[in-house]
Amino acid sequence: MIIHVNGKDHELDIPGNTSLLDVLRVHLNLTGSKYGCGEGACGACKVLVDGNAIPSCITLVANVQNKEIVTIEGLERDGELHPVQQTFLEEDAFQCAYCSSGMIISAAALKSKNPSPTRQEIIEAMQRNICRCCIYPRIIKAIEKA
C-alpha cells in the first residue's frame, strides 16, 4: 500500500484496517498528531486529507490511499511556519499543547476555504476540537489573526 504524506510517497506493508493515526505515529514516526479519545471526537489526532481536517484515529489507512495527507509536521513550507502556526505562537495559544496540532490543522483547513472567517464561523469550525486547558479565547484570537 502506498500513501502520500507531507509531499512524499510511503510504501507500507500493513493491513488496510490500520488506523491512519497508528500509521503516522508508529510506521512513519510523525508524532505531532496525538491520540486523545480514540473516537474522533476530541480533535487531537486531526490531519488534513485532501484539504479537509479529519480525525486520524478513526480513519482507516485503506481509505486514504491516493489522497493528499498533511500532518502538523507538513504545514511549514521552506522553513516558514504556516500562518496559523505562527499566530498560535504569537498569541500564546498553547498551555499543555496536547490539543494544539489538531487545533492548528482544523484552523488551517478553515482558513484555506475561508481566509476571513467571522468569530462565529471560527467557533463553529472548531467545535470538534477539545482543549482541556480551556484557552479557547487565545485560540480564537490566533485564528482570527492568522
Tell me the per-residue pLDDT of 22-44, one tens digit each, with 9 for 90 and over. Answer: 999 999 999 999 999 999 999 99
Q: Residue 93: its pLDDT value, please? A: 92
Q: Residue 40: its pLDDT value, please? A: 94
CB atoms within 10 A of CB 66: 8
Q: Residue 45: its pLDDT value, please? A: 97
For residue 126, give the 3-state DSSP assignment. Answer: coil
Give the chain's domains with CATH numbers: 2-74 (3.10.20.30), 83-145 (1.10.150.120)
pTM: 0.94
Pairwise CA distance, residues 72 & 82, whole Å: 10
Mean pLDDT, the chain cut into blocks of 10 residues (146 residues total): 96 96 98 95 97 98 97 94 96 91 97 96 94 91 94
Q: Residue 95: its pLDDT value, please? A: 87
CB 61 within 8 A of CB 5: no
The two beta strands, 2-5 and 68-70, are: parallel
Q: Residue 135: its pLDDT value, please? A: 87
Q: Residue 11: its pLDDT value, please? A: 96
